[in-house]
A and B are shown apart, each in its own frame.
Chain A
Amino acid sequence: MTAASPILSLQAVQKMFGPHAAVDSIDLDIAEGEFFTIVGPSGSGKTTLLRMLAGMDQPTSGNILLRGQYINNLPANKRPTCMVFQSLALFPHRTVGQNIEFPLKIRGEDPAKRKARALQLMDLLRLPQNYYSKNVMKCSGGERQRVALARALAYDPQILFFDEPLSAIDYKLRKTLEKELKDIHRETKKTFVYITHSLEEAMVMSDRIGVMRAGKLVQVGTPHEIYSSPNTRFVSEFVGDVNVIPVSLGSKNLLKSGLAPKGLKPPRVPEGFENGHLVIRPEYLRFLAKAGDADNALTGRLYNEYALGSRIQYQVRVGDTVFVVEKLRQQPFTGKLDDDVIIGWDAKDAILVTD
């Protein structure tokens, strides 16, 4: 995916706050036209990283290169990049039109041209044309979102940064706006760098995802790679409900676990693996008629069930360990609560991770 000449390159970028590294030696190339998302829990350093990329903070060490040019100390107003803030940072004393035109006014473009461009962008973002002279604070959350994006696009940046702009919006509208944003990305062909704490959000939109933890990038890959082959327990748990079994490598290439005295059949074992976790996604776990129907099987008690729209999730307790199993709504499991059930999975469907 990484192009021959990336638009943005980070080389050992580090940001210290006192003795604490908020961003800890990050190397990353972002390709031209890519939708790249950085995901991490709060405090993982993703906002600090983005502020350095946008020019609002300077790295303590390392290099940031834009098309090969060193830009560490280039201030935000001199960079051909633009950011959509978490708070949106709209100018409350201005109308929708004045907000969108702001970068053009700063550049000294003439009012007629400015207005034409603003109306064009409002059209692109499906804002009604009569909103041009509406006070921006009277717009709804979703409309403000679009105004903020239109204002950033009016700057005509080479890279657009997004600092969790959808985090304050309710679930249903967020889902709509995520897709819209991806459409806008397609439409404008610009490079988007997005940060969020929601991997689910990242999955919907991104070409590639980088997962951050404690200032470090722990994994970079396509949404599919992050989902299907997480390299750590941390990444695997970030995607949503997973079943995690602590294991160690035993004899005869079987995994030792307190849950299965006979050992578990592993997927491909990474070189040098000794201790770690076996990760099984809920949709790969299934209810078995008898233990031999899958490579691995465990006996437990059906504790509860939850309807998740198109799927149903079942909670099964094996001893004190909780497992979640998912089935499609059309093919529900017919067992009753408190029944003894056998759950199992095929060796190839699980993932072995360290940490």
Chain B
Amino acid sequence: MSPGLRSALPVVLFLIAGFAAPLIAVIWFSFMPARTFSFGGTPTLENYTTIIESSNYISFLWSLGLGAVTVTLLALICYPIAYGLVRIFGKWSTLITLLFTIPLFVSENIRLYGWVLFLIKNGVLLGTIKSVFGVEPESILFTLPAIVLGMVYVYFPFMLFPMTLGISMVPQDTRDAAMDLGASRWQVFREVELPLSMPGILIGCLLTFVLAVGAIAEAKVLGGQQIIPITHDIEIAFTYAQNWPLGAALSVLLMAVVGTLVLIVLRRFNLDQLLGRR
């Protein structure tokens, strides 16, 4: 055994036990007969056939769609803030970063219930508007916008921080040089800052997309189960329906779809090439 392999052994064993084994178990289970609870059955494709014949694709589309909308909104919201943190806010950056980080110490579910209290009829927002202005608008709680709001809120730091890192990696000299060569502020942004901060943007987008597609609490708590994302279907299969093989097959499909999308994006935007290392 080479010294390198020997040194890597603990990590390899840990990854086999903690990462590969559960994954293989889920994949294997997805080929077991429906409603069985053992690894010993005859492998079958019936779970996948069931999914294709059912309406699960709607949940898939909701999850992917919500993920795409969340990522798009986050990209638009976070870029200016990240830019400000790196280039404009100066000494206030640390404080602002801290304010964005502190909510992460509180459980996601508790924060979502906070939003419920804020948005609910006669709650913090509408109750205040009612007592001050005497009007009572419709609550957005338990609607699609509330779900999107919740997801944007929860995954905000996961977009902001990679973007901040990406923008801070743009060398000041390249900005100065572009300007010195006649570029306007907008041209400096388009020709230099945006492409050079692309790795950070891309990592932020991939991270939040993967997280958002796997989201479940937002639709449950803020969406009032108006919309059923795929994660909810998976949960139902494993719990109420007691159909583990079906749940496993749905999970495998979700991983395959998300994995393919991520690979396509990574192939389209080669990170090394963006960084000029290729």
Contact = CB atoms under 8 A, between A and B. Distances in A.
A85 B176 contact: yes
A118 interface: no
Given A75-B179, A83-B177, A89-B176, A135 B184 contact: no
B278 A91 contact: no
Nearest to B195: A93
A77 B180 contact: yes
Interface stretch (B46-54, B110-118, B269-277): B269-277
A102 B175 CA distance: 13
A89 B173 contact: yes
B188 to A, nearest CB: 8
B192 A91 contact: yes
A54 B171 contact: no
Given A91-B174, A93-B196, A77 B274 contact: no
A91 B190 CA distance: 13
A153 to B, nearest CB: 11
Interface residues of B, number: 23
B260 interface: no
A252 interface: no
User: Chain A, interface size: which category?
Assistant: 20 to 34
A151 B178 CA distance: 10
Chain B contact residues: helix, strand, loop or mixed? helix
Nearest to A51: B176
B187 interface: yes
Given A102-B191, A106-B187, A135 B180 contact: no
Interface centre among B178, B180, B184, B276 (most CB of A within 10 A): B180
Nearest to B276: A92
A76 B276 contact: no
Contacts of B182: 77, 103, 106-107, 155
A135 B183 contact: no
Contacts of B276: 92-93, 135-137
B8 interface: no
B196 to A, nearest CB: 6
Nearest to B192: A91
B181 interface: yes
Interface of A: 54-56, 75-77, 81-83, 85, 87, 89-93, 102-103, 105-107, 135-137, 151-152, 155
